[in-house]
Structure 1
Amino acid sequence: MTKRGMEAKDLFELKSVANPQLSPDGKKILFVETSIDQEKNSYISNLFMKALAENTSATQWTFGKHRNHSPKWSPAGDRIAFISNRTGSNQIFVMSEKGGEAMQLTFFENGVGNFIWSPNGEEIAFSISLKPDQTIQTAPKQEKKKEEKDKELTALVVEEMKYKSDGEGFWNGTYKQIATVDIKTGELGQLTSGKSDYYLQSWSPDGKYIAVTGDLNEERDNSFLTDVFLLDVETEELNKITNSDGYFGNVTWSPNGRYLAMAGSNREFENATLSRIWIYDLETETHSCLTAEWDVMIGDNTIGDFQQGTVDPGVLWAKDNHHFYFLATDHGNTSLYYGNLDGEIYPALLEDQHVYGVAFDGKDQAVVAISKPTEPSDMYSLKITTGETVKLTSVNDKALEDISLSPVESFYFESEGGLSVQGWLMYPANFNPEEKYPLILEVHGGPHAMYGNSYMHEFQMLAGQGNVVLFTNPRGSHGYGQEFVNAVRGDYGGNDYNDLMNAVDFALEKFSFIDPERLGVTGGSYGGFMTNWIVGHTDCFKAAVTQRSISNWISFYGVSDIGYYFTEWQIQSDLSDIEKLWKHSPLAYVNQIKTPLLILHGEKDYRCPIEQAEQLFIALKRQKKVTKFLRFPEANHELSRSGNPKLRLERLTAIKDWFNQYI
């Protein structure tokens, strides 16, 4: 029987599993499974548990149509804490590892954020947003029955440039603080206060300190640093251990408490700087960068549009206090690596895949969350010494029974300056080498991100419609070293454009089944900018879809939540040089656009505000060009990845229909 290709609506049948957590004895695993409730048009997340030694399915541990996520084992392994929005906002709950009713620990009107267990298992530290005149005791408590209250209209007073952010909206005057709650008594404590944001990292093994990060610079608008602090739990004193010269996070303690590992950089190339592993020795009070000579990005920078609730745990220490494991992004893969204090680095799990989560028992057992182009999301156990993996879940097998997932072929081609660039070609569903197929070029956002060997629902849907899908990592992408990722800065629309067009030329020459007269292009964010740029500089594409795009760097400078500094970092210009900003703006070339262009944008996108789309649409319509504009209500920059499910489906359907109509 011939299977059908992937359809947009299949998104509603697929499940994502993420955030593996091994029990302290290494025998059980917790993870989060997320699906979509079509009736309520919402996401559902629940905890699942599985004994690694048993050949049985995972057992569902929480229930209901809510978001239950971020599980963490107690140090003794007898309890599980997690976050749930079942009462209307995110609160911390604790339950026995044997199951049963979960006990609610926090009761705040606006909810809480990240949390960690104390080493003795008696307290939990958590993040909460408070106004300067509020304390943990006076913060508004959650009402048992939340009623709609009339909001009094009042002016928003703005005195800082960083007054809004995509996803969170306008700043409400609160700062992220660190607080604690006693498991038995419910007694609350507050460890930080003031007009700075503190981000919870990890608790020292002896219980004396909590590692936190933050930027204490009073002039926040022009500060882009994050320091690491040791917060004394008893005295509440902060001791800064970094030098206010970079950005650091994912801080973890060695089991003996002597070392702190962190990921970060000194921002030599602004936001294009590779993140590296740093070690702070508390005995000698010295820093060392263990990966200074390794031209690889630490962490997971692979782009996807499917996984929900992914967590990069940072450096995972072994019990010997000397070696550790971590994720890194390299040549289309996010892989698991081994490292030690001597600076040795080796791959621990190196295949063509996307490892988007990992847990480690400190000895020889790990669990990894893996995605591949034809495998959306599953958990695997990993024996460190042998590299042997065993699949623990098959959450999408039933949904994919009648669907043909399209394989990909990786290749490299030579671009401008002799640069080697990686690309992939996804074959159309039910491929017949004797037929001719249209091709759609996909351009990723960032620009400092990476396409790779991961599941992409949009790609599979387009392949399911009988299209060849071409995706590549032009200069500016992560995964190919510091010089490569930095090469796009100051050159938007230059050699990055040449890389993309050379990828198309290479594919047309290598794959004879592509119809050169039926080409399409699409992308979002930076990929939207590049889609706009491409159709303003070539007529070879028969249709284009630009998503959450940038069209005008002059206005972007003032309207985006990151506009002024991102423009200065990336275009390397500001409002003192309007000519340069306009030169790099796709809107400047709108007279040359002949390609039918569909414009997709979220109404509440503060990263690339919708006025960018409005300008482009009006300019095109004024010249009677073929275009259409879809405005997605309440949607922000994350629409394609974690947005309203029905709007995600509407977006995918619009992309499919536009290409079907014009190519």
Structure 2
Amino acid sequence: MKKSKRAITPEDLTKIEVLSEPQFTKDGTSYTFVSTKINENNEYEANIHLQQLHEEKSTPWTYGKYNNSNLSFSPDGRQVVFQSNRSGTPQLWIMHTNGGEARQLTTFKHGASNPHWSPDGKYIIFTASLHEDDDVASQKELSKEEKQQLTEAKSQEPLVVSTLKYKSDAEGFHDDKKTQLVSYSLEGNTFTQLTKGDYHHLFQDISPNGKQILFTANLSDNADYELTNDLYLLDLHSNEIKKLNERSGYHQRAVFSPSGEKIACLGHEYDYAGATLTELYIFDLQSGERLCISNEWDLQLGDYIIGDMRLGASENGPVWSKDGEKIFFIATDRGSTGLYQVDLESNLEILHKNDSHVFGFSYHKETDKFIIGISSPTNPGDFYLFERGSELRQLTTTNKEFLQEVFIATPEELEVTTEDDWKIQGWLLKPYGFEEGKKYPFVLEIHGGPHMSYGQSFFHEMQLLAAKGYVVLYTNPRGSHGYGQEFVNACRSDYGGKDYEDLMAAVDYALDNYSFIDEDRLGVTGGSYGGFMTNWIVGHTNRFKAAVTQRSISNWLSFYGVSDIGYFFTKWELGHNLMEDPKKLWDFSPLKYAENIETPLLILHGEKDFRCPIEQGEQLFITLKHLRKEVEFVRFPDANHELSRSGNPKLRIARLEHICRWFEKYL
């Protein structure tokens, strides 16, 4: 392999621009999107761009070192409202599409988000975190000094906890604020709170006639003990709230049909707990009936491909056609995602799927065109115009200069047949500067979830390890999404069982079929569930010479009580909670097998990880150190479970450097 380009580095994280949120303008001749990058201050900044479909370059609509996103066009297309933190707190801003400065709309103490226009263009509906006695008419944004004073005051006060759901990895410790729906009148310059109560209300859609709002919530008195997310209809005239689903479950992405007579909604009823495939429901508002369109499919709706370069959110569907006869959405299948279409008789059609990662789309009802966001293993992501019967037309070349400068390895897809005849999909990257006849060290990567999926998407960490001279193997063992209901459910109550065997079978396959792998220099790493599995592997085999476990689980007994999801996830995934069968949980815990570990182990963990709290890493480190094993512990300050994907850029780079350092030392 000729080294015509340089190898990728950890610092290249700062050179990659990430695209998200494609959205057609009203006339369909152009579209907007969000571009996120890391600036010279090692901070994320996201700005909104506009691109004409006939032009090669986009025009920035927003500037500066801020995060601007969630743009929404007015019905006449003359104005946009969007979310920005330029004032210091995420607030709503409005500006004209023909130019001019943006004007701040909200000054809510805890910010405002997710804006949507009413069909007549007279109102903007949004969400805000409010205390029970907050007055939306007199909200005042805190200054930087006031925020600091409030933080210092809280740090000197005890936290009184009386609820089960008192913390989350995304938000930290909760207080009594709840997400409420608020309406802003452009004519009267007034705010009206639409929902109240000690519940979170998540806006979904507004009806075509502007008289009703869809939202999801759990309004039960037992909400603190339940994981349900019901679908509700709010009548804006009478303030009457009506629950639409009969059975409890999880509902999201609900949208009105163009006529307003039907609602498309994604969701499920936890038939397989957290491993349940997502369904597409149609609610008929006239008959009150609910139809499951996807009942006969064995397909996971939505984007479940993971990576470390997908900042920002994008539309996954469902989205209605103009005539209300078809619905468009993204689905995950065998390591890739595609754009799908279904009619109301459940006839499914693939519109675009080409061994890549479709991470978002926008549909223009009048022209029947799509803007599709696509990432591949060799491209972080660009936007394309898709028209039926025509070839994709690339609209952006965002990272062109970077890709011309840096060598990006192309993965080779492989399929492993296990002893019980299951098919396991995987990919292998050859190292930078590969030479025939030479032996190379090897690293097995294991994804988290466990119900997520590796796939045909750009992954900086994988490319970095290949650039450092390693053969990289990543696979989707049973438990991964994209291979049907039986497959994704198969690891539950069997952690460290067949899923472990799948991974080892993949390693054996690689050694048998790729003679350039040095079988005496094998490494393994993974995060979250992948961290658990890394811990499990080194406790059950000594074939690996180095391991890096990240944000892992080591002890299910304590995980039950310390994780923000432990009280239900433990039961979901292992079949038992702490009180039902502590011995079973201990049998599933890698810590039980610490004496067996001979592999040098690096433990990486975020100090503020509430999903897999840092005590999981602490227990493993202290145990191994006490046993005089080769182990090291790296703690990342102010980092939560999302460190590798959206954490502090400096810490993300440091994390990658530690991984490379450990493998270089022992492999």
Q: Which of the five TM-score ranges fits, normalised by the shorter chain?
A: over 0.9
Deviation for aligned residue 1:148: 3.0
Moved more, 245-254 or 143-152: 143-152
Q: 1:37 to 1:290 in 2, by over 3 A?
A: same
Q: Distance in 1 between matches of 2:662 and 2:191?
A: 55
Deviation for aligned residue 1:145: 7.3
Aligned residue for 2:219, secondary structure, equals coil
**In the alignment, what sits opposite 1:395?**
398
Deviation for aligned residue 1:433: 2.7
**In the alignment, what sits opposite 1:80?**
80
**In the alignment, what sits opposite 2:665?**
661
Deviation for aligned residue 1:140: 4.5
Q: Distance in 2 between matches of 1:523 and 1:89?
A: 34
Normalised by the length of structure 1, the TM-score is 0.98
Answer whether contact 2:603 2:633 (CA < 8 A) is retained: yes
**In the alignment, what sits opposite 1:379?**
383
Q: Distance in 1 between matches of 2:144 and 2:492?
A: 52
Whether 1:6 aligns to 2:8 is yes
1:143-542 alignment, distance < 5 Å: 143=143, 148-149=148-149, 150-152=152-154, 153-362=156-365, 363-383=367-387, 385-542=388-545
The C-alpha deviation readout for 1:197-228, integer Å capped at 9, x for no partner, is 11001111110111100111112232111111
Whether 1:15 aligns to 2:42 is no
1:22-101 alignment, distance < 5 Å: 22-38=24-40, 40-52=41-53, 54-101=54-101
Q: Distance in 1 between matches of 2:488 and 2:147?
A: 49
The C-alpha deviation readout for 1:41-62, integer Å capped at 9, x for no partner, is 210100000111x233011110
Aligned residue for 1:574, secondary structure, equals coil
Q: 1:387 to 1:570 in 2, by over 3 A?
A: farther
Moved more, 570-579 or 29-38: 570-579
1:549-628 alignment, distance < 5 Å: 549-576=552-579, 577-628=581-632
Q: Distance in 2 between matches of 1:263 and 1:459?
A: 32
Answer whether contact 2:325 2:343 (CA < 8 A) is retained: yes
What letter is aligned with 1:263?
L
Deviation for aligned residue 1:295: 0.2
Q: 1:143 to 1:335 in 2, by over 3 A?
A: same
Moved more, 217-226 or 634-643: 217-226
Q: Distance in 2 between matches of 1:613 and 1:440?
A: 21
Query: Please, which of 631, 635, 639 is the counterpart of residue 635 of structure 1?
Result: 639
Q: Distance in 2 between matches of 1:338 and 1:57?
A: 30
Q: Distance in 1 between matches of 2:512 and 2:188?
A: 70
Deviation for aligned residue 1:462: 0.4
Answer whether contact 1:617 1:629 (CA < 8 A) is retained: yes
Aligned residue for 2:662, secondary structure, equals helix
The alignment yields a C-alpha RMSD, in angstroms, of 1.3
Whether 1:648 aligns to 2:652 is yes
Normalised by the length of structure 2, the TM-score is 0.97
Aligned residue for 1:320, secondary structure, equals coil
Aligned residue for 1:114, secondary structure, equals strand
Q: Distance in 1 between matches of 2:188 and 2:507?
A: 64
Q: Distance in 1 between matches of 2:431 and 2:222?
A: 53
Q: Distance in 1 between matches of 2:252 and 2:620?
A: 38
Deviation for aligned residue 1:420: 0.9
Q: Distance in 2 between matches of 1:41 and 1:386?
A: 44
What letter is aligned with 1:83?
Q
Length, aligned pairs only: 660
What letter is aligned with 2:17?
K
Q: Distance in 2 between matches of 1:159 and 1:12?
A: 42
Q: Distance in 2 between matches of 1:584 and 1:133?
A: 46
**Percent identical across equivalent pairs?**
47
The C-alpha deviation readout for 1:73-124, integer Å capped at 9, x for no partner, is 2222111111000000100111111121011111112101222111111111
Deviation for aligned residue 1:647: 0.2
Answer whether contact 2:110 2:130 (CA < 8 A) is retained: no
What letter is aligned with 1:42?
E
Answer whether contact 1:33 1:47 (CA < 8 A) is retained: yes
Q: Distance in 2 between matches of 1:145 and 1:585?
A: 46
Aligned residue for 2:532, secondary structure, equals helix
Answer whether contact 2:126 2:183 (CA < 8 A) is retained: yes
Q: Distance in 1 between matches of 2:69 and 2:34?
A: 6
Q: Distance in 2 between matches of 1:140 and 1:175?
A: 17
Q: 1:135 to 1:313 in 2, by over 3 A?
A: farther
What letter is aligned with 2:32?
L
**In the alignment, what sits opposite 1:122?**
122
Q: 1:387 to 1:521 in 2, by over 3 A?
A: farther
The C-alpha deviation readout for 1:377-400, integer Å capped at 9, x for no partner, is 1111111x1152111111111122
Answer whether contact 1:300 1:312 (CA < 8 A) is retained: no
Answer whether contact 1:196 1:214 (CA < 8 A) is retained: yes
- Any gaps of 5 or more consecutive residues in structure 2? none
Answer whether contact 1:325 1:338 (CA < 8 A) is retained: yes
Deviation for aligned residue 1:70: 1.3
Q: Distance in 2 between matches of 1:293 and 1:431?
A: 46
Answer whether contact 1:19 1:311 (CA < 8 A) is retained: yes
Aligned residue for 1:508, secondary structure, equals helix
**In the alignment, what sits opposite 2:137?**
137
Deviation for aligned residue 1:316: 1.2
Aligned residue for 2:416, secondary structure, equals strand
Q: Distance in 1 between matches of 2:233 and 2:148?
A: 41
Aligned residue for 1:148, secondary structure, equals helix
Q: Distance in 1 between matches of 2:233 and 2:578?
A: 40
Answer whether contact 1:248 1:264 (CA < 8 A) is retained: yes
